Copies of this chain bind each other. A is one copy, B any other.
Amino acid sequence: MSSVVAINQRARSAEQKALRRRAVLETAETYFLEVGYEAFSMSKLAKNIGLAKGTLYLYFQTREELFLTLYEQSLIRWSQVFIDDLSDAMTSKAYSQKLFSTASADGTFLPLLIRLEHMIEHNVAIPRLVSSKQVFINQVEALAEVTSNSLSLSKAQAIEVVKTMGVLLIGATQGDQGPSLDHEELPEDVQDLIASFSSEPLFIKNAVRIIEGIRTEALSNI
């Protein structure tokens, strides 16, 4: 009768299976936040949960499908946070700052976004991939709605802004994914280089340039 499935019990009803799937995802995300993408192993995840490795494959076809699901969750979660943070009549700079800070605050979203196309989407069955793209379309739609309002742009311009921000976010945060070089003795020129690729200003400066670009294009096209 209880809707909780203890790890040593079997999930029989559809409801219990959905519950167990969610429990797997929860543990997976915690584990992912600890060790990152490359060190994440299915056997260790199984041990973390207290299930056998084979059981994981009853709930996800591949390691990548699990990551795709985590990505979807984090996308939805982040866009909700971002949308709630937006207000009317923002400057492009304030908008970009909110976008960057909310995205960075979610430890799962950016690392998975960056790996989406060249790692995760390979080794996922096509129908699952299609459904994931549709989730993406819905989120772009929702984000464009509020963006249009916050930046006083047409709907088409807002869609353009949202898509472009995604592209820029991937590029600008690339440097954050490199190995940590803190406390290493680096030559000054290399230190300067790293500093000049600091992701936050890199993103915000160019986000503003792009948003203003989109704005002025509309003016000259009347």
Contact = CB atoms under 8 A, between A and B. Distances in A.
Interface in A24-77: 37-38
Contacts of A117: 174-175, 177-178
A181 B132 CA distance: 14
A115 interface: yes
A219 interface: no
A32 B179 CA distance: 24
B126 A181 contact: yes
Interface residues of A, number: 51
Contact of A209 (B129, B174, B196, B214): B214
Contacts of A126: 181, 184
Interface string A81-114: 0000000000000000000000000000001001
Describe A's contact surface by its main secondary structure: helix
Nearest to A176: B117
Given A126-B184, A190-B130, A193-B136, A169 B171 contact: yes
A170 interface: yes
A118 B178 contact: yes
Q: Which 6 A-B pairs have the closest CB atoms?
A: A209-B213, A171-B171, A118-B177, A167-B171, A117-B178, A170-B171
